[in-house]
Amino acid sequence: MSHSQLAHRPMSVRELADQAAKFTWNPNIGFKFWCRAAETLYQEGKSYLADRNLPQAYVVFFRYSTLVADYLSRHPEAKEPESRRLARPLQRRLERVLELLETIKPEIQESYAEWKKLSVPTDVGQDRGGILDPALAWNRQSPAQILDIRENHDLAVDLAKKEILRRRRRAGSWEADVSKQRESSPTPYIDDRELRRQMEATRHQLDRSSFHDGMDHDDDRDSVVTPTNYSYPSIKRSSSPPRYEYSSLPAPQGPRPLPPRPPKGPPMIPPLSHEKLPARPKKEPLPSIEPYLPDNALPESAPARPPKTVDKPKRVTFRPNRYLENGDPLRPVFLPRNLRDSFLKKASRNTERGLEMCGLLCGEVINNALFITHLLIPDQTCTANTCDTESEEDIWQFCDSENVIIIGWIHTHPTQTCFLSSRDLHTHAGYQATLTESVAIVCAPRFEPSWGVFRLTNPPGLDEILRCQKPEVFHEHTCKNPYVEAFEPGGHVHEANLDFKVTDLRKSV
């Protein structure tokens, strides 16, 4: 097995919790962007569960619980009516996320213990700069074959197409049990006071979780890890949480029915026929044939072969091939080739009138790569130099119904060249701060180059934009390279022949 195929060592529960806590909380980012981040984390967790990547699912679900339970209420916009309305469904989902964390945790602990016992051959456990990547961690339940995206571009696309089709066919099955429970016992209305009380209890529970329960006692560690002010979530439930089966085969519905018993009494013997039967033909000896034995056949005296052992099916995951300036990995992003043309057709009327227009790039996480599968045109306010999304609840409802996340955005420059303005930089900072791989596509149909795919540098671009408090819509920034090209070969974005859906939520066109 080549070095690129070696699995990283598994990460302990404590290490995964530490990884989940490594995000920068910045109140300068709008409240709706943080709510989008929480929704993205939830959808990412569902995708990683579908991929049977439990360590990464644990990280994103843990980060969701930390963001929703502890940070959203600190935002300066948290008490506004619009913000409270956006946060309420995220808070109500928190208990479900905590249950999933408690379900996943034993599997991670067993994988870590088994790895230490078996000494599974892995690499040093680091991809670059000493960073452990939970998405590439060894998993006893579903060992991963780790491949390089540059050498397996077509394979990644083919696997994604099959997985997308499988998920479409099984749409809604991931939360089937929860939906049935909601139908049988609908959630009662919770007023704001009760909701705040529950959130406060959850925050205390996150802080008071036992440190020793989450600590791993490694044989090669002599010192005790210093506890922090967070730990993995722990909740009390009246019944054990459901276990999720990752096999695509349907579970048998009870034992098979037995054949009917024969009636009691003497056996039924058919009466003999008096008709004369034809004479039985004489037996003729068969010609002698030497039995054919292949050259590698075993002699009669050799012992029987042991039964074949069926190896566990390996999942495929792709290692990042690009990194941020600070060393953090960037998962590859696959962009449909015809998406820009479809967007420009939608924006043609605005372009003729000299107005900007934007769309959201939505997609799915498959095998540790991001695939854009939907172009969403949200309701928006457009001017000659700006475009702002409206009706945030409609965007969330779309993402939740389609089980997709927002991977980036696309917008036009009808009268300007292809670049990111200062207003665009501030807009994209909200996307990239909540999803590292987020990209901004600019289409300038009247100039050359007519389009580009960009991301903020980190550092210095993202840090400076988030610190910027200049009130003017358009202003200058001090750093010389706030953003860079994100398209291949130097970036993490790849074009591919992918199908995608276009959904227009505009109330007036």
Q: What distance in Å separates the CA atoms of residue 13 and residue 109, rounded to the nearest whole number?
A: 7
Mean pLDDT by 10 residues, the chain (509 residues): 54 92 87 91 90 90 95 95 93 94 93 76 50 67 80 95 89 50 41 50 50 40 35 40 38 49 52 54 52 46 51 73 92 97 97 97 95 97 94 90 95 96 94 93 96 97 92 89 96 97 92
To which CATH superfamily is domain 327-504 assigned?
Cytidine Deaminase, domain 2 (3.40.140.10)
**Nearest by Cα to 36 from 457, 438, 476:** 438
Single-letter amino acid code for the residue at 69:
A
Q: Domain 3-176+190-219+228-239+314-319 belongs to what architecture? A: Up-down Bundle (1.20)
Q: What distance in Å separates the CA atoms of residue 191 and residue 74, rounded to the nearest whole number?
A: 20
What pLDDT, on the 0 to 100 scale, is given for residue 18? Answer: 92
At 82, give phi and psi (nearest 5°): -65, -40
In sequence order, the 6+-apart residues with CB closer than 8 A to the CB of 243 are 103
What pLDDT, on the 0 to 100 scale, is given for residue 169? Answer: 85
Single-letter amino acid code for the residue at 185:
S
CA distances from 290 to 71, 287, 295 (A): 81, 10, 14
3-state secondary structure of 336: strand
Q: What distance in Å separates the CA atoms of residue 479 and residue 458, rounded to the nearest whole number?
A: 12
> What 8-state DSSP symbol labels residue 91?
H
What pLDDT, on the 0 to 100 scale, is given for residue 278? Answer: 57
What pLDDT, on the 0 to 100 scale, is given for residue 379? Answer: 96
Q: Where are the domains of the chain?
A: 3-176+190-219+228-239+314-319, 327-504
**Nearest by Cα to 172 from 180, 163, 161:** 180
**Residue 358 forms beta bridges with which residues?**
411
Q: What distance in Å separates the CA atoms of residue 433 and residue 456, rounded to the nearest whole number?
A: 10
Please give the full DSSP string across 447-480, using - where no structure is assigned. Answer: SSS-EEEEEE-TTTHHHHHHH----SSS---S-S
Residue 306: asked if its preceding bond is cis (omega within 30°), the reply is no
Kind of pairing between the strands at 405-412 and 358-366: antiparallel
What count of other Cβ atoms lies within 10 Å of the Cβ of residue 19? 20
